[in-house]
Chain A
Amino acid sequence: MPCPSDRAVSLSRLRAWIKQFGILAAIVIIAATLGCAKPTFLTTTNLVNVARQISINGILGVGVTLVLLTGGVDLSLGSVVALTGVIAACFAHPGVYPLCVPLILGIAAGMACGATNGLVITGGVPPFIATLGTMTVARGLAQVISDGRPVSNMSPAMIRLAGDVGGIPVPVIILAAVALAAWTMLTNTRLGRHIYAVGGNENAARASGIDVRRVKMFAYTICGALTGLAGIVLAARINTGQPNAGLAYELDAIAAVVIGGTSLSGGAGGIGGTILGALLMGVINNGLDLLNVSSYYQQIVKGIIIVGAVWLDRRSSRKEG
């Protein structure tokens, strides 16, 4: 079946490449500056460190990229991270269940949250409201399940999910696998093209026979599953399931996505940009920590970069359009 938005897709892809090159240049310049100011920054161990620190935000970013591409939004990420982390931690005590149990339950819980979002949204509730509701419910559930206390005593197998394999942190391997799978899906499958089409123009997509409902359900459910995965990785990283973990993680993830050039109104952008966006945020956070810059300034810098990136993005698309 010919897709009417194929031309638009290839155009937006070209645009995305240009934008990504811009972010890549920004990352290189910032990294070089930090390297001069603090030679430790450019050591292999520190760069591995940066990769490890962006992996959770990166996994969340990949998931929410799918949602933003359909023109939606997901504010429930942070709370679902806490919920799935707590659930996984409850089943990860040493010598009770094999590792696959907390893994499957954590991801399944995330999928359930995502599918709920999808159902409510395709039922007619705006994404902002629907996911705001899930955000509150998931946080409450996390507190109910954990009784407001961190769930600790985690098996070594679970903790190893935050460890290293051959010098590469496991969370980084997970992020790479997730990003590669999502990238392939978006660029090489019909479902991927449909996601762009729904976000570009929902009515046109529907008119051309795309099952908009199914596409949206898919995007939110996968986003939920990846959020569950991120929740598990976070729990492994801090050796506990924390009911108050993940506060405002959704905003960091959405920031990474928009810095990476994905449009908040949907239809344009991609996974590569999201990974670069997360990398840029991670590099800045790590570099400013190394320079012992107060977290006050770190927030200011982060805010300026988010707005600056989107502003540049808008300017370039206006010129091209």
Chain B
Amino acid sequence: MKRSALTLTAFLLLSLGCNQPPEPSKAASGEKQIVIGVTMMNMANEYIVGLNDAMAAQAKASRVKLIVNDAQRSAEKQVQQVETFIAQKVDAIILNPCEVEASSPAVDKAQAAGIPIVNVNSETSSAPTAFVGSHDEESARLAMEYIAARLSGKGEVVMMHGYMGQAAQIKRDRGARAVLAKNSGLHLLAEQTAEWDRAKAVTLMENWLQVHGDKISAVFAQNDEMAMGALLAIERAKKKDQVIVVGVDAIADALQAVKDGRLDATVFQDAKGQGSTAVTVAVRLANKRPVEKETFIPFQLVTKENAGTFAK
């Protein structure tokens, strides 16, 4: 079922690509259209879907063909997909890695086959030809600094982690702790993983409210899904006026909640910037043009004041 859906997707993209007029310079030299193989971490994740949309738009603008595969969170599947891209002799590969270590063989294989590979959004321990993404530490730092400012550097904070051991979790944890270390008045009251999941976050927040009651002054959730879950639990307990809730990613739901004044803040990770830059870099590499080894797209703090400018 999933496989046939994939084949169908690939077919649709292929036929889309075929309908495009060839790139003028290419047509003149009689070369074939550039083909880029893309493997995405997990197309059930809203942010990753946004990233994919941005890539598709940029590919259309640059008149290149994308073959998009969904690794469905499995690094092993991702390695297989890259092997298939190599066999298909694509001109470049864009890898949105599932895991730091386990997705690394994909990078090594592409490098060995002489095909340029661009990592987007997350890192692997093997060095790709180029990296396009954001400093995840920065997102957590922005969120925690906002909490510190709102609390004037004094208060009890709880933190919800993502999947333990994932690059984003490790870095957002590091960024948050760096701010906590600088503010001796901020105390980490409790921390636990809710696995990026909204339903798990509701349950965890309910339990925290039971045990810590009125002590909690702020919640930092490492993504917006969990922040929305925490927010629901706090609103149901009628304690929102006492607790600041901040997330990361600026998904549509969270942006709306910030606009409505329910969620205090989120951090905008630029899916559009990451996706389009990744395609641009991959096209340059396919044309054997020089590129920046690393491109960092900055994060931005979103509060009620500027939420309107991030509309989706």
Partners in one complex: yes
Name the CB-closest residue of A to B198.
Answer: A238
Instruction: List 6 interface pairs A-B (beta carbons < 8 Å), by A numbering.
Output: A49-B207, A140-B2, A148-B49, A163-B236, A245-B198, A286-B210
Assembled-state Cα–Cα distance A286/B203 (Å): 8
User: Using an 8 Å CB-CB cutoff, how does the interface string of B272-294 with A read, 1 for contact, 0 for none?
Assistant: 00000000000000000000000
- Interface membership of B62, Cβ < 8 A: no
Distance (Å) between the CB of B272 and the closest chain A CB? 16
Given A136-B2, A140-B1, A290-B210, does the pair A240, B253 have CB atoms closer than 8 Å?
yes
Choose among A53, A137, A244 the residue that contacts B45 (Cβ–Cβ < 8 A).
A244
- Interface membership of A320, Cβ < 8 A: no
Distance (Å) between the CB of A190 and the closest chain B CB? 38
Interface centre among A133, A163, A245, A295 (most CB of B within 10 A): A295
Is B192 touching A149 in the complex (CB atoms < 8 A)?
no
Is A150 touching B46 in the complex (CB atoms < 8 A)?
yes
Among A22-30, A39-47, A59-67, A114-122, the one that faces the other chain is A39-47
User: Using an 8 Å CB-CB cutoff, how does the interface string of B17-49 with A read, 1 for contact, 0 for none?
Assistant: 000000000000000000000000001111001
Assembled-state Cα–Cα distance A43/B210 (Å): 9
Assembled-state Cα–Cα distance A234/B198 (Å): 10
Given A49-B207, A290-B207, A295-B193, does the pair A238, B202 have CB atoms closer than 8 Å?
yes
Distance (Å) between the CB of B174 and the closest chain A CB? 18
Residues in B lying within 8 Å of A, measured CB to CB: 1-2, 5, 43-46, 49, 164, 190-193, 195, 197-199, 202-204, 206-208, 210-211, 213, 225, 228-229, 232, 236, 251-253, 256
The 9 closest A-B pairs by CB, nearest first: A289-B207, A244-B44, A290-B211, A46-B210, A238-B198, A148-B49, A40-B211, A149-B46, A152-B253
- Interface membership of A294, Cβ < 8 A: yes
Is B210 touching A45 in the complex (CB atoms < 8 A)?
yes
- Interface membership of A243, Cβ < 8 A: yes
Is A237 touching B192 in the complex (CB atoms < 8 A)?
no
Q: How many residues does chain A have at the interface if contact means C-beta atoms less than 8 Å apart?
A: 37
Given A49-B206, A149-B49, A289-B207, does the pair A143, B44 have CB atoms closer than 8 Å?
yes
- Interface membership of A292, Cβ < 8 A: yes
Is B198 touching A240 in the complex (CB atoms < 8 A)?
yes
B203 contact set on A, CB distance < 8 A: 53, 285, 289
Is A237 touching B199 in the complex (CB atoms < 8 A)?
yes
B198 contact set on A, CB distance < 8 A: 150, 238, 240, 242, 245
User: Using an 8 Å CB-CB cutoff, how does the interface string of A237-258 with B read, 1 for contact, 0 for none?
Assistant: 1111011110100000000000
Choose among B192, B202, B252 the residue that contacts A294 (Cβ–Cβ < 8 A).
B192
A238 contact set on B, CB distance < 8 A: 198-199, 202, 228-229, 232
Assembled-state Cα–Cα distance A52/B203 (Å): 9
Name the CB-closest residue of B to A298.
Answer: B192
- Interface membership of A214, Cβ < 8 A: no
Given A140-B1, A238-B202, A289-B204, does the pair A243, B192 have CB atoms closer than 8 Å?
no
Choose among A53, A147, A240 the residue that contacts B206 (Cβ–Cβ < 8 A).
A53
Is A286 touching B207 in the complex (CB atoms < 8 A)?
yes
A46 contact set on B, CB distance < 8 A: 210
Assembled-state Cα–Cα distance A220/B81 (Å): 37
- Interface membership of A38, Cβ < 8 A: yes
Choose among B204, B206, B211, B228 the residue that contacts A239 (Cβ–Cβ < 8 A).
B228
Which A274-321 residues have a C-beta within 8 angstroms of B?
285-286, 289-290, 292, 294-296
Is B192 touching A40 in the complex (CB atoms < 8 A)?
no
Given A45-B210, A245-B199, A289-B192, does the pair A147, B5 have CB atoms closer than 8 Å?
no
A137 contact set on B, CB distance < 8 A: 1
Assembled-state Cα–Cα distance A52/B256 (Å): 27
Assembled-state Cα–Cα distance A238/B207 (Å): 16
Name the CB-closest residue of B to A143.
Answer: B44
Given A140-B1, A150-B46, does the pair A40, B210 have CB atoms closer than 8 Å?
yes
Assembled-state Cα–Cα distance A88/B256 (Å): 21
